[in-house]
Amino acid sequence: MNTSDTYTPWTQEYRPETRAAQGDGWRSPTTGAVPPPISLGATYARDADYRAPAGLAYLRDQGTPGYEQAEQVVAGLEGGSDALLFSSGMAAATAVFQVLPAGARVVVPQTMYFGLTKWLREFGPQRGLEVVQVPMNDLDAVAAAVDAAPTALVWAESPANPTWLVTDLAGCAEIAHRAGALFGVDNTVPTPVHARPFDLGADLIMHSGTKYLNGHTDVVAGLLVKAPQRTEARDAIWERLQLHRRLTGPILGPLETYLLVRGIRTLYPRMRQISATAMAVAEHFAAHPLIRRVAYPGLPTDPGHEIAARQMTGGFSGMLSLHVDGPWQQSLRTANHCELFIRATSLGGVESLVEHRYTFEGPDSTSPKDMLRLSIGLESPADLVADLEQALEKAVKEDR
C-alpha cells in the first residue's frame, strides 16, 4: 500500500513506549495535523489509466491507511513482523482455527477465555477439528497431549482468564515445535508491556484490542501478530489468515481503528499504574478474614508466581480474582454492594470492573462460584480497597 499521504517513516529505531506514544510517527504531511486523518472511504477511485493511486481498491480488501498504522504499531510493540486487524478479539482468534485444514488436531487450555472455549465446543467438531483440552499449567500433560497424535496447533493464554493460571510459554513452545505444531498465544491480559511471547517461541500472538490496547471501553477490536523470523509454516498460515480476512470480512471500521491507536498511545503508563494498583489490592486482601484466597500471579504465594516472574516484566497486569469466604452467594452479594467497582463484563479499561463470572457465564460455566473477577482501572488504590471492604462487610451482615 502506498501510504506516503499520511506517513513519513522514522529514521531511527525507538523503544516500544516511544512507538506507542507517537503511534509510530504517523501524521499528515499535507495538513500538518499531528494525529493522522481518518479515512472513511469504502471504495477508492481509479485514475484515467485505471490505476489505484494509493494501491487501495475496497475497504474489505486492503483496509485504510489507518489499518497500516494500527497493524504496524502493534506488530512493533510485540516485536513481530506483521499484524492483521480484526473486528474483535474473537474474530481474530477464531480466524486461526478456521484456516486450519479440516481434521486438524488442536491442543488448547482447559481454562481460557470463555468465548473461545464455547466456539471450539460449538463449531470445532462440526468443522472437523479435533479439540483436545489440557491443563496448560502442567507441561507433562501438554507434552502427553501433543505427542499422542499429529497436532497442528497449540494455543495458550497466560495468565488465563478468569482464574489467572500461569502457563510456561517457553516450555509449551518447545513441546509444540518438537512435534511440528504451531504455537499461538493470547496476549490480551499481559499486553506487550508485561510479556513478549515471541521471545519465548510463539508463532502467532492474538489480542483482544477491546481490552488494554484500547483501554477506554469504547471499541471492540482484535489483532493477530506474526512472529519476527520467517518459517514456511508461519508464512503459510499468515497467507491463509490474510485471505480469510479479505474474503470473510471481519474488518474494523476506520473510526474504531483510529480510537484503538489513540488508546495505545497511553498503553505503557496505563499498564504500569494499573499493575501497581492490582498488586496493592491483591496484597491488601491476601490475608483478609473474609477472603479465602486471592488469585494473582504477582503474589509470591500464588502457584504461578515463579513462572510468571520469569516470563513477565514490570508487573503482572490488572486482573485478579477474589475467592470470598463463606457460602458462595456471599461473593455475588459482595459484587451487588460495590459502589465504585462497576458490575460489568469485559476488562482492561480505565474504570475498575467487578464480575461474578459464574452467574455471567450461566449453566455451562466452569468458573468457581465463590469467585469475583476484578479488572483494575486507574482509580485511587485506597478508594478501590475501601469499596471492596464496605461491600464485603454488607454482604456478611446480610447473611446473618
Ligand X SMILES: *Cc1c(COP(=O)(O)O)cnc(C)c1O
Catalytic residue among 5, 44, 60, 61: 60
Tell me, yes or no, if 226 is annotated catalytic: no
Secondary structure element (H or E) that encloses residue 74, with its range: helix 65-78
Catalytic residue among 27, 105, 211, 234: 211
* Cell, residue 176: 509444540
Tell me, yes or no, if 186 is annotated catalytic: yes
Q: Give 69 or 161: the residue with its C-beta nearer to ligand X.
A: 161
Answer yes or no: are the C-beta atoms of 188 and 348 closer than 8 Å. Answer: yes
Cα three-residue angle 298-302-306, rounded to 5 degrees: 70
Please state, as a whole number, how many other Cβ atoms lie within 10 Å of the Cβ of residue 180. Answer: 11
Q: Give 189 or 261: the residue with its C-beta nearer to ligand X.
A: 189
Tell me, yes or no, if 397 is annotated catalytic: no
Q: Are strands 204-208 and 222-226 parallel, antiparallel or unpaired?
A: antiparallel
In angstroms, give the least distance from the CB of 287 to ligand X. 29
In angstroms, give the least distance from the CB of 27 to ligand X. 28
Catalytic residue among 186, 203, 302, 370: 186
- Indicate the SS3 state at residue 10: coil
In angstroms, give the least distance from the CB of 97 to ligand X. 13
Residue 354 backbone dihedrals phi, psi, to 5 degrees: -125, 140
- Indicate the SS3 state at residue 204: strand
In angstroms, give the least distance from the CB of 199 to ligand X. 20
Secondary structure element (H or E) that encloses residue 333, with its range: helix 329-337
Tell me, yes or no, if 60 is annotated catalytic: yes
Q: Give 54 or 193: the residue with its C-beta nearer to ligand X.
A: 193
In angstroms, give the least distance from the CB of 122 to ligand X. 15
Q: Nearest residue to ligand X, using CB?
A: 89
Catalytic residue among 113, 212, 258, 268: 113
Q: Give 93 or 320: the residue with its C-beta nearer to ligand X.
A: 93
Q: Give 166 or 179: the residue with its C-beta nearer to ligand X.
A: 166
Residue 144 backbone dihedrals phi, psi, to 5 degrees: -60, -40
> In the Cβ-directed half-sphere of 393, how many Cα atoms lie within 13 Å?
7
Contact footprint for ligand X (CB under 6 A): 88-90, 93, 113, 115, 157, 161, 186, 188-189, 208, 210-211, 220, 222, 347
Give catalytic residue positions.
60, 113, 186, 211
